[in-house]
């Protein structure tokens, strides 16, 4: 596993195999989300990211949408699984409360 500092960000690290370098010299949105919706169609996968309103937990404000090919979504899934497994082995905690998993109809072992 490779860990390196992301240029210009002293507190953020990118973990995992580095196969492709991205040109980050031009400005681009840097977003944080605490919610996601996923939509799947025959020609693509759509991720809509949102933030939960701290005053009304049932309200989520969409902050961005990314559309990718089904192939990239499949590769992303594999990269996330591999990276999370490696991070867990290094002691990083990815625990999600059981009630959240149940609400999302997910099993803990799916991660």
Other Cβ atoms within 10 Å of 16 Cβ, number: 16
Q: Is 57 left (phi over 0), alpha (psi -120 to 50) or beta?
A: alpha
> What's the whole-number mean pLDDT along residues 77-82?
93
Distance CA(69)–CA(46), nearest Å, equals: 9
pLDDT of residue 103: 87
- On whether the CB atoms of residues 61 and 49 are closer than 8 A, the answer is no
Kindly report, residue by residue over 4-16, the tens digit of the pLDDT.
444 444 444 555 5
Higher-confidence position of 4 and 93 = 93
Query: For tokens 């991070």, what's the residue?
Result: 87
Kindly report, residue by residue over 25-44, the tens digit of the pLDDT.
999 999 999 999 999 998 99
């Amino acid at each position: 596993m490779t860990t390196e500092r992301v240029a210009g960000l002293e507190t953020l690290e990118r973990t995992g195999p580095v196969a492709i370098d991205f040109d980050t010299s031009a400005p681009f949105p840097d977003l944080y989300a605490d919610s996601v919706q996923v939509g799947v169609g025959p020609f693509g996968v759509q991720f809509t990211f949102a933030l939960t309103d701290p005053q009304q937990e049932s309200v989520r404000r969409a902050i961005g949408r990314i559309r990718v090919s089904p192939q990239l979504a499949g590769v992303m899934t594999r990269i996330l699984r591999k990276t999370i497994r490696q991070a867990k082995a290094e002691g990083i905690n990815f625990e999600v409360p059981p009630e959240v998993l149940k609400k999302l109809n997910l099993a803990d072992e799916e991660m």
